[in-house]
Amino acid sequence: MADTKREIERKYEATDATRLPDLSRVAGVGRVEKRGVTELDAVYYDTADLRLAAGALTLRRRTGGADEGWHLKFPVATGIRDELHEPLADTLPPSFAALLRSRLRHAEPAPVVRLLTSRDLQHLTDADGTLLAEVSVDTVLAERLAGKATGTTATWTEIEVELADDGDPAFLDAVEKRLRKAGVRPSDAPSKLTRALAETAPAPKKRAKQKAEDPQTAGDHVLAYVREQIRTVVDLDPAVRRDLPDSVHKMRVATRRLRSAFKTYRRILDREVTDPIGAELKWLAGELGVDRDQEVLDERLATGIAALPTTLALGPVRGRLQVWSAARRTGSRRRIVDVLDGKRYLALLDTLDALSADPPLRPTASRTPAKALPRAVLKDYRKLARRMDHALEHPPGPERDTAMHEARKAAKRARYAADAAEPALGKPAKRFAKRVKAVQSLLGDHQDSVVAREALRTLAIQAHAAGETTFTWGLLYGHEEATADRRECELPEVWSRASDPVLRADLKH
């Protein structure tokens, strides 16, 4: 596994004549240590169409400095990136190849830019000698290594301030204040690679500037939403492989939003094309959810146990829950990575790219959003209304539980439909989605209670067979039953607000 660090830094413009101000006067700094000049030689890799740069990813092989080797950087937020490091080698490390697979697909990364950097480094430490930040003045020579601009060079000088591990980001504000007083201004380029690509790019051909057009038709808006979900799936692939928190859940949601959009907007996108893709997305969501539902259930049951007074947690309840949970897990971490490495998944990504590039638009796609989008949203609403009526007419019991679960799925689809339409329809779609989301959340909590009760019953049976007391499992069962009863009592009012005719009328105006 590659070493990972969170890189928090800021860049500033400089010239050969720029001199750093006295940074010992920055609040908290006890000493400024000059570390000398280091020569760095970095080759940056990408595809011919610069897919990695388009996603703000950086892949380089660098010699010189304390951390020479391969580096792969993922954006986290402005000025914040996760940097992964592998030892120096002649070829791309397999771990990096895997993390880039969703973007590279069948392409091989090749050298695109070389940066020779002369780095004059200083350490800012506190009174105890603890590192606060590294400040470097970098003199850079960039050379284009691929394309029509091969051999083109550019030079510049910049100042880089990188926060120490576990440092307080507020310290960077204090350093910046001092730099600004000395006339040093922030750089417009987020990274050296971005600047190098821009300054060594081929001269643009003279032609009339084409302004990017905002979405106009119903098809434009639906495609914008679909493309956003496709990007989300691709962007989350490395996070899932790195096992980052909530990444599997977020990717699963994106696949569901895509499937929902294909179903809702089938009068805009040809279902003969989207139905097979939807089936593959359903497969992927299923693979991603192998252990996700178990994870949610474990958390719910563990929270229930933790909330009990110690006098009511009788027997080895925590240990039994752990054993039961472990037996139900499938080792899906390895399974998910295998899925992401498989041909079927990569073929799905290629298919989604093809759909994005050449969308199967139907005649309705050319209509105005105000006409086509409300119609699709309201169709999903009517399906939800039918399922809600069916659920509410049943007395409490298993049939009602099933009907409420089906209504929950319809509520989710209606909400996603409104989310997709919000950029075109504005506040009416946002209000509608918010009300329907409340219904979905309530029904979701009810369904989680149904699943939890079945699990608690199983745990009680196992405890009884092992000669343990079942008191605590029965108590938790009663708590979940009470939760379900409360949700059922709350449902009519929440549904009444979501089914307000004014909400639907506003969508059409």
pLDDT (tens digit per residue) in 307-339: 999 999 999 999 999 999 888 776 667 888 999
Taking alpha carbons only, the member of 98, 94, 111 closest to residue 59 is 111
pLDDT band at residue 237 under the 50/70/90 scheme: very high
Domain topology for 3-199 = Hypothetical Protein Pfu-838710-001 (2.40.320)
CA distance 13 to 333: 44
As a whole number, mean pLDDT of residues 250-260 equals 96
Would you say residue 17 has pLDDT above 70? yes
CATH class of segment(s) 218-507:
mainly alpha
User: Are the C-beta atoms of 85 and 69 separated by less than 8 Å?
Assistant: yes
Would you say residue 19 has pLDDT above 90? no
pLDDT at site 330: 66
Q: Where in the chain is the domain with CATH 2.40.320.10?
A: 3-199
Question: Which residues on adjacent β-strands are paired with residue 63?
Answer: 41
pLDDT tens digits for range 176-235: 999 999 999 999 999 999 999 999 998 776 654 445 567 889 999 999 999 999 999 999
CA distance 461 to 473: 9
User: Are the C-beta atoms of 182 and 16 separated by less than 8 Å?
Assistant: no
- To the nearest whole number, what is the mean pLDDT of the chain? 93
User: Are the C-beta atoms of 265 and 355 separated by less than 8 Å?
Assistant: no
Taking alpha carbons only, the member of 137, 161, 172, 169 closest to residue 40 is 137
Would you say residue 238 has pLDDT above 50? yes
Please, which residues have CB within 8 angstroms of residue 290's CB and are 6 or more apart in sequence?
A: 330, 332, 335, 336
pLDDT at site 210: 47
pLDDT at site 334: 81
Please, which residues have CB within 8 angstroms of residue 107's CB and are 6 or more apart in sequence?
A: 47, 48, 51
- Please say whether the dihedral angle defined by the alpha carbons of residues 492, 497, 501 and 503, taken in this order, is positive or negative: negative
As a whole number, mean pLDDT of residues 118-141 equals 96
pLDDT tens digits for range 40-65: 999 999 999 999 999 999 999 999 99
pLDDT tens digits for range 421-455: 999 999 999 999 999 999 999 999 999 999 999 99
Q: Where in the chain is the domain with CATH 1.40.20.10?
A: 218-507
